[in-house]
Amino acid sequence: MPEPIVEVHDLRKIFPTTTGEEKRAVDGVSFEVAPGRIYGLLGPNGAGKTTTLRMIAGLLTPTGGRVRLDGHDPQVDRESAKRSLGYLTASTGLYERLSPREVLNYFGELIGLETAHRKKRIDDLIHWLDMSAFADLRCGGLSTGQKQRTNIARALMGDPPILIMDEPTLGL
């Protein structure tokens, strides 16, 4: 059996409240995901799903527990963990003055894709996600669904081995 690409062990997050109490948002979550598998978190609003995903991505420091992405701890080896991860949040904004093609080019540059590879990857994503009709329009004028497809393409830009998507069907 292959090594898990995502490992989450006893993950916990406690937030302080305005009354001085503690709010236990995540309490002892553990799971492993093998390479090539799809895994979903289901639960009611306020169950801690987004908080869990943010801790896995290294955007929020856990109160306790451990996360490993492709063998890397995002709290210790942030750069290696980031290279293994594409992350789509439920509330990712776009640069409204840029087109989807320009957004993808910008993020491709940020992650270090060479020009020829970046251009091909952008063209492939625009084709795969049916973005041709709006790929060169400003993001500020796009529909919610078009913006969401642009954000999905952005998360896929580096062809990451791990893809975390928080509410990916919003607006689609």
The pLDDT of residue 74 is 86
Same domain assignment for residues 37 and 72? yes
Examine the domain organization and report whether 42 and 107 are in the same domain: no
Domain boundary among 17, 50, 83: 83
Residue 138, judged by CB atoms within 10 A of its CB (0-12, 13-18, 19+), counts as: middle
Q: Per the domain annotation, does 137 fall within a domain?
A: yes
Residue 133 in tokens: 């009709």
pLDDT for 1 equals 65
In-domain check, residue 53? yes
CB 74 within 8 A of CB 57: yes
With contact defined as beta carbons under 8 Å apart, do 118 and 110 qualify?
no
Do both 44 and 77 map to the same domain? yes
Over residues 82-115, the pLDDT tens digits come to 888 999 987 778 899 999 999 999 999 998 899 9
Low-confidence ranges of the chain (pLDDT < 70): 1, 172
Same domain, 136 and 77: no
Residues 152 and 106 in one domain: yes
What is the domain range of residue 65?
A: 6-83
Q: How many Å apart are CA 17 and CA 37, to the nearest integer?
A: 37
Same domain, 107 and 148: yes
Instruction: Mark which of 51, 83, 115 sits at the end of a domain.
Output: 83
CA pair distance 35, 3, nearest whole angstrom = 8
Q: How many domains does the chain have?
A: 2
Does one domain contain both 10 and 56?
yes
Question: Tell me, what's the pLDDT at 165?
Answer: 92
Does 106 lie in the same domain as 133? yes
Least Cα distance to 109 among 51, 165, 154 occurs for: 154
pTM: 0.86
Q: Which residue has the tokens 């109490």?
A: 21
Please state the separation of Cα 84 from the chain's center in Å.
Answer: 11
Whether 95 maps to a domain, the answer reads: no
